[in-house]
Amino acid sequence: MILAGYRRHLPLPGSPATSATMADVNVHDDRPRHPRRIAVAGVSGVGKTTTARRIAGLLDVPHVEIDALHHGPGWVRRPEFLDDVREFLAGDAWVTEWQYRDARPLIAARAELLVWLDLPYWTTTFPRVVRRTVRRRLRREVLWNGNLEAPLRTIFTNPEHIIRWSVSQRHAVAAVVPQLQRSEPGLPVVRLRSQADVDAWLAGLS
């Protein structure tokens, strides 16, 4: 089920499928608790981690940055990655990014809500990817396990450079969400199509 609205509150686990806005969901004082296990989906650079942190702060639940579990020194995948994912998923409350092919099914099976950041790519996401990559490289920002962004010139030589990767994968999430809905039909999906939508939806959590 995709709940296209965003205006006030989180959808409730087990809510019936609806095309209504979030304002139409029953959000009175006798409602069940808000979801406490939330995944944030979107293409690279769209703002998953920023949004996940904001959700975690508003709901007072831990944010687990999944990139920090995945990337070891030298950008090599950590062999403990999936074990660490399973460990935090066993908790009662968390917010994380919905990414990495073999981790996504595990996350979806435990999540109570998926927030899909489906923002315009060329006017919103692509400029964000470029700004973030340039900033990280020029400032030599240390990322997970001591990693640094590659030199900017490698965008011309490395097909997996983050900017090129973002462009090549820009339709990936739109392709996998329908698969998710078939495998996890009871998982509510909130689809947000602009930064204004994201900000307004988050405002409903405060």
pLDDT at position 206: 74
Q: Who's near 140: CB < 8 A, 6+ residues apart?
A: 148
More confident residue, 192 or 206: 192
More confident residue, 12 or 65: 65
More confident residue, 1 or 185: 185
Q: Work out the pLDDT band at 2, boundaries 50, 70, 90.
A: low
What's the pLDDT tens digit per position in 153-202?
999 999 989 999 999 999 999 999 999 999 999 999 999 999 999 999 99
**Mean pLDDT for the chain?**
86
The string of DSSP letters for 69-103 reads HHB-GGGPBPTTHHHHHHHHHTSS-EEEE--STTT
pLDDT at position 1: 58
H or E element: which one contains 61? none
More confident residue, 10 or 98: 98
pLDDT at position 92: 97
Indicate the residue type of 46: V
pLDDT at position 23: 31
Q: Who's near 182: CB < 8 A, 6+ residues apart?
A: none
Asked whether residue 15 carries a pLDDT value surpassing 70, the answer given is no
CB 130 within 8 A of CB 57: no
Tokens of 40: 């944030």
What's the pLDDT tens digit per position in 23-42?
323 333 333 467 999 999 99
pTM of the model: 0.83
What's the pLDDT tens digit per position in 84-95?
999 999 999 999
Q: Work out the pLDDT band at 4, boundaries 50, 70, 90.
A: very low
Rounded distance, CA 129 to CA 44, Å? Answer: 7
H or E element: which one contains 12? none
More confident residue, 5 or 25: 5
pLDDT at position 3: 55
The string of DSSP letters for 175-186 reads HHHHHHHHH-TT
Alpha carbon of 72 to those of 45, 50, 81, 144, 152: distances in Å?
Answer: 20, 21, 9, 7, 21
